[in-house]
Amino acid sequence: MTQWLISIEGTPEGARIAVILALVSAFAHAIFGALQKGRHDPWVTRGSIDIWIVVFSAPVALFVVPWPQGFEWLVILGALTIHFAYKLTMALAYERAAFTVVYPVVRGTGPLATLAFAAVFLSERYGALQWLGVAILSASILALAGLNLRGGAAGRANLRVGLAWAFAGGILVAVYTTYDAWGIRLTPDPFTFLAWFFLITAMDFPILMAVRLWRGIGGPLPVLWPLLLRGMIGALVAFVSFGGVMLGTRLGKVGEVAALRETSTVFAAIIGWAVLGEKVGYARAALMLGVAGGAVLVQAG
């Protein structure tokens, strides 16, 4: 698998695979966000997910893939810092605002910033049509968040704090997308980076979860079995979501992959309506078409 991936880097086939990985990752990420926002405290849910990520990734990292060498350890530790900050902002945002308010802001802020970061730090070049597509995509997502904000039942102050954390999360999405693309390209074996990335970056929130449960923060202790089941499903989805997009950025342009991944907002709106009972009207449907249209322009460009 490793040799095949390396062989298609920079080829038309690699670009096609990158598109597929981005879209699969988008669907998986929408599910992942809904799982974190569900019935349990988001801190505890994320901790449960990360416990399962450690359980699943440890054997692969320790016994299957090559171990990181030298500078690669510093790259993975850098990923730990960035992703911890991202997870922290997401938990704080989900504490204060609805899934359909938080998620679009995070995903809408990320694409334009990612395109800019990739152009500056990875020397990628994008055409005017692609910049336009990302602008339409981001504007549609942020407008969707505005509609959700006006229709929110929670207190306005709470919503605004949630939005502030969501915006910070969106900037961190751009940071980690660019950084992870650099990291996975730097590592000769991409699966070494992925396996150790999942293992190392999943060790923080289980500790936070234990501290919160011990102190009684976030309500009474949850029923164990549903929480563990949700965590296991979330871990499997995370491998598809984060692993897919990182492999996609190794095979294709970071900005293009990031923009296509933000079609997750469309999937998230459908999940919010069908599973979480959140309303989706004509205006939201039109904005979702704007998201999809912007992604098409990015790819067409």
Per-residue pLDDT reduced to its tens digit, 119-157: 887 887 888 888 888 788 778 877 876 776 665 545 567
SS3 of residue 238 by DSSP: helix
Domain count along the chain? 1
Q: Average pLDDT for residues 262-272, to the nearest whole number?
A: 74
Position 25 in a domain: yes
Position 124 in a domain: yes
Position 2 in a domain: no
**pLDDT (tens digit per residue) in 12-47:** 898 899 989 988 998 888 887 777 665 667 778 888
- Average pLDDT score, the chain: 82
What pLDDT was estimated at residue 220?
A: 64
More confident residue, 37 or 281: 281
| For residue 64, pLDDT beyond 80 | yes
| For residue 224, pLDDT beyond 70 | yes
| Position 65 confidence tier, pLDDT thresholds 50, 70, 90 | very high
What pLDDT was estimated at residue 26?
A: 86
Position 7 in a domain: no
Position 238 in a domain: yes
Instruction: Decide if 35 contacts 233 (C-beta within 8 A).
Output: yes
SS3 of residue 41 by DSSP: coil
Angstrom distance (rounded) from CA 115 to CA 37: 28
- Residue for token pair 């995370």: 238
More confident residue, 244 or 150: 244
Position 211 in a domain: yes
Name 230's Cβ contacts closer than 8 Å, sequence gap at least 6. 35, 38, 40, 45, 48, 49
Identify which of 93, 28, 81 has the alpha carbon closest to the alpha carbon of residue 203: 81
Identify which of 67, 43, 145, 136 has the alpha carbon closest to the alpha carbon of residue 104: 145
Percentage above 90 pLDDT, the chain: 24
Position 3 in a domain: no
| Position 192 confidence tier, pLDDT thresholds 50, 70, 90 | very high
Q: Average pLDDT for residues 98-102, to the nearest whole number?
A: 73
More confident residue, 4 or 299: 4
What pLDDT was estimated at residue 213?
A: 78
Q: Phi/psi class of residue 65: alpha, beta or left (left: φ > 0; alpha: ψ in -120 to 50)?
A: beta
In which domain, by residue range, is 49 found? Answer: 14-300
Q: Judge if pTM exceeds 0.85.
A: no
Position 5 in a domain: no
